Structure 1
Amino acid sequence: MIGVPLPNPRDQLIDNLNQQLDAFFGAGNKVKQVDPGATGVRDAMFGTSYTARLRAERDKMAPQLKALAEKGLTVIEAAKEMGMETKRARLIARENSINFPGPQ
């Protein structure tokens, strides 16, 4: 109608969300903390088939890099032993949660 202000869509969404929260907690449900990686879904998995192929190649190198890290080698020493650039070794370590001793 003319002269009647339209409801704010943002306020409608917030009201709807608050109603759903009240219903959820009113039913006795509780919030659960899910550990990272428990779902098996990797972060930022998007891109082309080319990037997926490169990621698959890096994932094949990850077990060897992890074994070198467990031996106590630094990321620089492990990269030299595997014959790769340090930057690539750091990328593989970051993607696969490998922790190296010493300077990163």
Structure 2
Amino acid sequence: MIGVPMVNPKDAVIADLNRQIDAFYGAGKKAQVIPSGVGVDGPFNGTTAHHERLRAQRDKLAPSVRAEAAKGVVASVAAKNLGMHIKRVMLIAQENGFKFADTP
């Protein structure tokens, strides 16, 4: 109606949500804690065929990355020498348990 103040939609949604929460806990139900990365419809993180193929590719590159680390170079130099992105080099090193030098 004209001249009558409208109810704030945000307040109406908050009031409805609070009513539903009170009804949920009032019925004796408890909230569940779902770990991060776990979904109802999807698999656990890193278990799809795509992730497995990517991991297999990184495993093939691991010996060359390990050889660069054994030379005592930093990750950025190793990435440049291998023609890879530094994040990929660091991920391969992390997955395979070796580290690069801190300073050149």
Matched letter for residue 61 of structure 2: M
Distance 1:83 1:71 in 2: 17
Matched letter for residue 94 of structure 1: Q
Partner of 1:80: 80
CA distances 1:1-25 after superposition (whole Å, capped 9, x unpaired): xxxxxxxxxxxxxxxxxxxxxxxxx
| Off by >4 Å, runs of 4+ in structure 1 | none
Matched letter for residue 49 of structure 2: S
Partner of 1:99: 99
Structure 2 unaligned blocks of 5 or more: 1-43
1:45 deviates by 8.3
Aligned ranges 1:1-104 → 2 under 5 Å: 46-102=46-102
Distance 1:47 1:102 in 2: 32
Distance 1:95 1:49 in 2: 18
The RMSD of aligned alpha carbons is 1.8
Q: Which has the larger radius of gyration?
A: 2
Distance 1:61 1:81 in 2: 13
1:46 deviates by 4.4
Q: What percent of counterpart residues are identical?
A: 45
Structure 1 unaligned blocks of 5 or more: 1-43
**Helix, strand or coil: the match of 1:98?**
coil
- TM-score, normalised relative to structure 1: 0.53
Q: How many residues align?
A: 60
